Chain A
Amino acid sequence: MSAIVLYVTFILLLTIGIIALLFKRNLIKIVLAFNILDSGINLFFIALGYRENAMAPIFTPAPLDSVITMVLPTPQALILTNIVIGFATTALMLGVSVLTYRNNNTLDTRKLRGVEEYD
């Protein structure tokens, strides 16, 4: 039951992200849309890595004689990495948005279109 909720949330986040990416014209809003998309994918990965009644993959507390399921830690590691990468991406995109606004006085992609000058 709970897994279904996670997957539905993932699809919702992905859809919201893609729609916002397609229809928003403001550079800052595009960054937000990308963040929504990214968290959707993070959620999907974490949901994939979940195992029912499983243990953390730390060997010490595992009883020797029992058959237990352990969680593979790779998805969590990957998602931690991806969160950090998403943070770096967001920071860089916001930084260049600020510079774009400073140089062009607009954040609207329709007005930023094209490079006519050859400086």
Chain B
Amino acid sequence: MERSFSCPTCGKCCYGQLPLAIDDTLAHADRFPLVVMWTPVRQGGRSFDITAELGITIKLRKRKLAAVQISPCAYLPPTLPCPELTADGLCGIHATKPLRCRTMPFSAYRDEADQADLLIPRSEWMCDTSPDAPVVYRDKSILDRQNYDAERAQLVRDAAILKPYGEWLLDSVPSLRMEIQKVAMKPSGGQVIVSFSTLIPRLAKVDIYAFARNQLPIMTAYAKKTANDPTLTDFHKRYADMAGEWGKIGGN
């Protein structure tokens, strides 16, 4: 089976949360409000195996398991665009944009054979998937696979850091384990947001003070941007908390 796709640069997919490879978080620490996102996938759920391979597993009740994707992430509400999306719908940092953006519409968080539904445009997206568009996916294979392969290779390298980090944080903070178990049991699923500062000790070369100085103004700006929107109260509170945390670290 063949699937066609062409991007008309409508910019609609440049909204909301954006998972990032570790190197991309470091390269863009002065740009995105960063968190670590923990997303459980229950056994039998879609992409359980690949999620367990790139992340960790956690025990649930009744001898069930959940795989947990641990992703450094640009933390944005679905209604807010990427800070680099320009007025004409193009990317302001095209030459240095994150791997996640380059691989679109495919995703290296999924197996290659499991990409078909990613080619269905979400509502309001203007992707051209008509037969006139070039074929991009044939018999469950990605035809131009350079970006997909690069992103997958990066995710595998990151897993060597994120897996031990995940086990360590779960042991250190028992309430986090309970929170993830709770989210995993919910039929609608969900995510648990953890401060990026918990990951820094695992990134040997990162200067936490410089990182804090980068993140503080961004968190402060997003706290302000979300202050008066009642639908974004959770986001606002989170930005404000993280601004406080980075401020404290940077002030040392």
Q: Tell me whether A and B are bound partners.
A: no
